[in-house]
Structures are given as C-alpha cells and as structure tokens.
A and B are shown apart, each in its own frame.
Chain A
C-alpha cells in the first residue's frame, strides 16, 4: 500500500510539475466570430479571405508580415535577404532555413520535403490552386538537406517572397496531402477539413459553413503558448450581429471585418464590452466589370467565359461613363466615415506603388451623359433607358448581402439611372458569394452578372502577385473548376508584357513606376475595375481579450498564439 501511494504521489507530482511553469491553455476558451463561415481549412482551394484566415490558426507559412508590413520569420530561422546571403545576387533563388526541431501537431518532424511538396501541390497543372499567383516564376524547389529549401525562379525575382510567405501560402504536411495532388485536391475532404499543421491550434471538429472547434496544439513550438486551451471559430450571420455579439452582449471575443455604417458601429461600441480596432491597408471596395457575356441564354460552361465578349461592357465609353457617374466622396461618408477614403486606385498603398490618379474623385453626371451620347447610346424610345443597336443599356449588379453594400447599390443605381442606365440589383448571401463552390451559380468567381461589387486586398507590401492576377488565362473558367483571380476576364498582351517587366526589375523606384502603370491600365485607362473606397479594416475584440494586433498585411489571426485573457 505504501508503495502504491508513493507511486501515485510521484505520478501526480510529475503531472503537476510542468503545469506550474507552462501556461499553455490556462486561459480557457476563446470565441471568435467570422460572419462569413469558412468552408474549407486550406487557402489553396479557396480565394476567400475567411478560409485563408481560418486556416492561419492551424497552418503556418515560413514567414509572415507584421502590422507595419515588415517581415518576420515563423517556421524559418530568419528572413532571407541579399544582405544575409539568403537571396542570390542575381535574384533568381531564395534559400530558407527551417527552425530546428519543429514538429507537426501529430508529432512528426517538419522537413524541407513538406515545403517542397506544398509547392508541387499548388503548382500541379490540374489542381486549380487558388494561390497560384504566389508561385509565379517558380522553376524548381530543391531540398539540399532536411532543413534547407531553395526556391529557384526562372528569372530574377526582385520580390522573392511570393511562395511560402504570408497567410495565403502556408506549409502543408506531405504525408497528409500526398494523395491529394491535382484533380484529387478537392475530393480529399479529410485533409482539407482537418489539416495537420504547425500553428497554435488543431481542428477538433469542422462543420463546413458553420463552426470550427479547435484546441491548443500540444506540439506547438513555444511551450507557453497558446494561452487558450480551446477555441471556437463560429461562422455565418452578418457583420451586424457579429459586432453586437462582441460590442454589446460579449458572447464573442473577436469579430472580424465589421463592415457597418459608421453611425451604427459608434452606437454599438457604447455597449462597453468591446472595442473596435481599425487599420488602413490595401483593401479597396470596387466595382468589377464583366468583360464577358453572362447571358443565361448561353449554354452552361460558356456563360461568362472569354468565348463571348460582353455586348455592352466591352465598350470602353460605357465603363467610363459608369465610373464618372459615381460620387465616391458621398459613398465613403455614408458607408465608412473615418474608416474609409475615396480612391481611384486598385493599389492604394504603400505610397511607392500608389498612383496619383485622382480624376475619378469628382462626379460628372453631365460628362457621363455626353460620353454615352457620343458613343451612340441614345434614348430613342423615351423610356429613360439608353439603347444602341436594339440593346437596352441595362445591367445586373450583384454583391454580397451587407447593409452598407446595399446602400451603395441603391445610391449607385440612382446615379446610373440619372445617366440613362437601368440597373437590376441582386444581393447574395456572403457565405455563398465568396464560397467559391464551383456548383453554385452565385459565386463572385462565376460572375453571372454584368457588374459586381466587393473588396479585395493583397498580402504583404508588394503588389506584384496582386497585379499578376489580371494576367490573360488566369480567369475563372470551367476547366479550372471556376478558380482563378482574373475576375473581370481582362486580357491585354501589353499588360502581360509589363507584368513580365515588373518581374525582372529589382530597382524599387522603377518597380513603383511600372506598378503604377499597371494599376492605371486596369483602372483609369480601361475602367475594367472601378475602385470606390479605400477601406480601413475594422474588427472588434472584447475588453477581456489581450494581445490583439490588427494586421492588414496578413491574416488577422496571425498572432492568435499570443492572445490572452485579461482578468477583470
């Protein structure tokens, strides 16, 4: 008996001892609400921010961007640069060194083979990888030893931080995803919902488009983190109820992307349980013009594909007139207040890349009318809608369901009707709209509408991969399972040539010039994209949640490992 007691006592002490020093899990539970519900746990199969951010709790890249846009190593020992020899002098290769002793949440070691595999996974020709733009120019990935990864580019890459950097291209475990290459990618449900990662949390239960239960990763590299033993990421609802849940009722600790009218947010934050936080980044609310024909009369598989140019919007004058009719200052005032700035640019920041293009900031209804008149769009039958060659100037305008966006829709419809353009409004539930489901006709990628409005931004500080989304052939199409980022189906060989030039240029001044030119080609010169508002990101956290650093350059959950509970 004595022996048994002694043994039990010894076991108990040894079990208690580490708990006295380590803090992992001591703060209990954290509730996060994303009003767009994540539908998959890997950023490679979804372009949606919600999926990228949810995945960032589990999957980690080699390095991330901080809230100031600086680079910090995550799985790597340091950020490779030309100075420290990590980037070759001719800018054609980058060498990453993994931290020693890293393990996946299942206990197996993280090796350079996993990194190499991640590259192969995304660059697989049949995969339809949503983050392919990140891997532009990658020629080969070599693994000289277990901890070293060398990424070789086929040409000099002044910004070699595309692959494996930022929330959009984290490292996948080779053992888990080996069978999921190419066309199998989307059928690997288990791997896609329960990825093995190196991040602070592991997925316990994944309910697509609903809720994700997570618990602390027992093998996380910092034994003291994360402070929370479990986490719930609830998806769905709308921005308003999410804001209420944090700011007024205190049911949730963190709410993401609260796109609410400024007066609404102000009156909610008087609730006293939470605080809204905001930061400006590169998020631009814009109207995208569909350059292909979305007509339902076309057979399925040909709608909104490059096979059929848009009958109305292919006319530059129409696109220009539509942009001229918009009063961006008023939109900003009504929709965002202090958290927005009117803009004409797709790339509004950093200053080096921001074009001084400001001509769209003044509304010009008369000019827009004259332009349409000149282009042959006249109202011949007196119904207030212009026609040309028997075609009514009538557009279907879609966006996600959100009170601010619906207000924008109403205002813009009003201006467009003043210049003789008829608009039909449609709003789609945001989980569906940004869901990327190839089976749904209502996703923003399918673009079964004439114009659509949403916001997008880029990770990091370099717009190259963002601008290269608009390359010919990168459009969503049936053969790529409707994945792809060239939402407008924009295609201009000159633009592509300029992109190639940007990829070859290392000098920052020069890069800025080219990027501005590219930005103007998409906005001012062709009006393919009509930027409206440069939006600050507004999120909210409860007053008892500490450690939140709002980051507009990477995933908002980038430092979830550092979050903790403030007593009180």
Chain B
C-alpha cells in the first residue's frame, strides 16, 4: 500500500558533496602563511634572529676580549668616519672604534648584547608566565578573583627601583657566593624585574578571560563535559594570545632598560662587565666627540625592541583565526 522508500535516495544536487578541493592543511602552516604576509614582522624576526645569533656566535668570530685594555689605541673612531674625515684615527683592528681605555667597541657590543638579551628574555618570560597564570586563574575561577587581584594591586604599588636597591643590599652577598658576581646579579635582576612587571599582563588577561568565558563556544565546551583545564588550554589561551604578545614585547624593552638603569646607579653588574645599558651610560659624557659610542648600543637596543614589537604584532595576526585568511 505504501510506496516503498527508495533505499538510497538521490541527493539534492545543490547539497552534493564534491569532495575536498585542496589537500588538508595543518593549522601551523596557515599561521606561517599569514605571518609571511606581514612585512614588518618578517623584518623584525629576521633582525631578532640575526642579533641573537650575532651575540651567541659573535665572540667566536670576533675573538677580541671586550675587557682587554689597549691604551695605545684608545679613542679610535669607527671605520665609516674615514669616509668624511680622512684624518680620523681609524683602523681595522677596531672596526667600530675603541673607548677611552682602548677597549674594542665591537667586542663590547657583542658581549653587552649577550648580557642585555639574556636579562631581557629571561625577565620577560618570567613575567609572562606569572602574569598569564595569575590573569587566567583570576578570570576563570571566581573564588580566586578577589585575592589574586588584590595581590596584583599590592605588587603594582611596589616601586621597582627602590625595591631592587633593597633586594641588591639583602641578597647580593648570598647570591654572589653561590653563583659568582655576574651570575648572582643576573638572577637577582631577572627575578626582581620579572616579579615586578607581570601585573599589567595579569590585569589585561583577566579582563579578556572574563569576557570570553561567557561566550557560546565555552558554554558548548562546558556542556559536553570539558574539564576547566582543557577549556583554558583549548579555548581561552589562544584567544588571549594577542594581549599577551603585546605585554611580552613591552616587557623585553622594560627589562633591558631597567638593567641599564641599575648599572648606571652602580648596583647592577660589575663596572667592567659590558651591557648595552652600561655602554650607553658610560658614553654620555663624551657624546659630542664620540657620538658612535652612544649610537651603537642605542641603536642596538632600539632595533631589538622594535623587532620584538613587530614580531609580536605579526604573531598576533597570524595566530588569531578570525584575522587569518583575510
């Protein structure tokens, strides 16, 4: 009586699956494609890799000791000054010139870069980890919100330089005994800069998490029984990556600059241990006669910070699925 249902009904033409047009692509490949479109980010990344490799392997290529004194060839100018001033004291033994005690500028720049980059990266990573951790916890778990945010306020009210001065006075001796004068100071600076600069990151991350955790996709994830940790990892963190990237770039700059401020005050690294900040501070007195001694480390700091900024910008665009592919 009833018409038998055809066992396999002919599909509607419009809804017909045509099969994949392109081979499947991995997410990271998409990210890379997007990243490559950002010219500034590419330049930034290139410069950052260049300078990192430079400070890592530079001492093996340019083997002069940055602390070696050579009074006879003091106050030499960089090679390029010879272009407009043929009477300038230049020489290939010091291609970027030498300082008032005859220490080689190029070797100092490389050695200083090692110290500054190490301090910058380590302090930035530390503050990033603490900041993101606190921000996510405060935003996601209501009970932790109050205490953690008050803790953030507390840390925000700590002035960093006086705190560092006190920390140096208190902890210099034990750290110096255990890790040597340079190692101890490195740990001290990284720690203090790290634990005093995570607060902006934490606040921004908490704000974003508060907004995102009410969105439908989080509700959906929750409804299928995803555990809180998985929700954070899978759904929340990728969405707050952009503010984290921005704080990271700012953090690197702050750390390099704080280190130089400390060296300037005489509580940082020993005075003959070159860092970019110290080279800059030392050269200010002779800025008019030897501008390159200020310019070289200054440009190095600026370009590094700028490079990291652009890199962060590009990464944010590349990692955000809503922007990617447009």
Residue numbers of A with Cβ under 8 A of B are 240, 260-261, 263-264, 267, 296, 330, 334, 400-401, 403, 406-407, 409-411, 413-414, 424-429, 440-442
B residues less than 8 Å from A440 (CB atoms): 169
The 4 closest A-B pairs by CB, nearest first: A401-B266, A427-B266, A296-B173, A425-B270
Does B181 sit within 8 A of A, measured CB to CB? yes
Determine the distance from Cα of A241 to Cα of B266 in the docked complex, in whole angstroms: 16
Determine the distance from Cα of A263 to Cα of B288 in the docked complex, in whole angstroms: 11
Could you tell me which residues of chain B, from 287 to 314, have a CB within 8 Å of some CB in chain A?
288-289
A429 partner, pick from B173, B265, B271, B288, beta carbons under 8 A: B265
Q: List 23 A-B contacts (CB under 8 A).
A: A240-B285, A263-B286, A267-B286, A267-B288, A267-B289, A296-B177, A334-B71, A334-B100, A401-B266, A407-B100, A407-B101, A410-B101, A410-B271, A411-B101, A414-B69, A424-B181, A424-B270, A425-B271, A427-B266, A429-B265, A429-B266, A429-B267, A440-B169
Interface residues of B, count at CB 8 A:
24
Determine the distance from Cα of A400 to Cα of B100 in the docked complex, in whole angstroms: 19
Flag if B266 contacts A428 (CB, 8 Å).
yes
Closest chain B residue, CB of each to CB of A405: B271
B residues less than 8 Å from A428 (CB atoms): 266-267
Given known contacts A261-B100, A334-B101, A429-B266, is B169 in contact with A413 (CB within 8 Å)? no
Determine the distance from Cα of A178 to Cα of B306 in the docked complex, in whole angstroms: 63
A residues less than 8 Å from B286 (CB atoms): 263-264, 267
B169 partner, pick from A296, A411, A414, A442, beta carbons under 8 A: A442
Determine the distance from Cα of A163 to Cα of B8 in the docked complex, in whole angstroms: 119
Given known contacts A296-B177, A411-B69, is B288 in contact with A426 (CB within 8 Å)? no
Determine the distance from Cα of A440 to Cα of B270 in the docked complex, in whole angstroms: 19
B residues less than 8 Å from A409 (CB atoms): 271-272
Given known contacts A424-B270, A427-B266, A429-B267, is B101 in contact with A260 (CB within 8 Å)? no
Could you tell me which residues of chain B, from 171 to 204, have a CB within 8 Å of some CB in chain A?
173-174, 177, 181
Flag if A261 contacts B101 (CB, 8 Å).
no
Could you tell me which residues of chain B, from 255 to 285, have a CB within 8 Å of some CB in chain A?
265-267, 270-272, 282, 284-285
Residue numbers of B with Cβ under 8 A of A are 67-69, 71, 100-101, 103, 169, 173-174, 177, 181, 265-267, 270-272, 282, 284-286, 288-289
Determine the distance from Cα of A240 to Cα of B100 in the docked complex, in whole angstroms: 16
B residues less than 8 Å from A296 (CB atoms): 173-174, 177
| Additional A-B contact list (17), CB under 8 Å, known A334-B71, A334-B100, A428-B267 | A240-B285, A260-B285, A263-B289, A296-B177, A330-B71, A401-B271, A403-B282, A403-B285, A406-B282, A414-B69, A425-B270, A425-B271, A426-B271, A427-B270, A427-B271, A429-B266, A441-B169
A residues less than 8 Å from B267 (CB atoms): 428-429
A240 partner, pick from B69, B266, B284, beta carbons under 8 A: B284
Given known contacts A263-B286, A263-B289, is B271 in contact with A406 (CB within 8 Å)? yes
Shortest Cβ distance from A402 into chain B, in angstroms? Answer: 9
Determine the distance from Cα of A187 to Cα of B266 in the docked complex, in whole angstroms: 29
Closest chain A residue, CB of each to CB of B266: A401
Shortest Cβ distance from B290 into chain A, in angstroms? Answer: 10
Determine the distance from Cα of A119 to Cα of B22 in the docked complex, in whole angstroms: 99
Shortest Cβ distance from B318 into chain A, in angstroms? Answer: 45
Most buried by A among B69, B103, B285: B285
Shortest Cβ distance from A464 into chain B, in angstroms? Answer: 35
B residues less than 8 Å from A264 (CB atoms): 285-286
Closest chain A residue, CB of each to CB of B177: A296
Shortest Cβ distance from A287 into chain B, in angstroms? Answer: 16
Determine the distance from Cα of A163 to Cα of B286 in the docked complex, in whole angstroms: 44
A residues less than 8 Å from B270 (CB atoms): 424-427
B residues less than 8 Å from A407 (CB atoms): 100-101
B residues less than 8 Å from A261 (CB atoms): 100, 285
Closest chain B residue, CB of each to CB of A428: B266
Most buried by A among B67, B68, B100, B289: B100
Determine the distance from Cα of A411 to Cα of B322 in the docked complex, in whole angstroms: 60
Given known contacts A296-B177, A411-B101, A442-B169, is B289 in contact with A401 (CB within 8 Å)? no
Shortest Cβ distance from B87 into chain A, in angstroms? Answer: 18
Flag if A401 contacts B265 (CB, 8 Å).
yes
A residues less than 8 Å from B68 (CB atoms): 414
B residues less than 8 Å from A427 (CB atoms): 266, 270-271
Determine the distance from Cα of A401 to Cα of B264 in the docked complex, in whole angstroms: 8
Closest chain B residue, CB of each to CB of A401: B266
Determine the distance from Cα of A400 to Cα of B265 in the docked complex, in whole angstroms: 10
Closest chain B residue, CB of each to CB of A409: B271
Determine the distance from Cα of A279 to Cα of B173 in the docked complex, in whole angstroms: 40
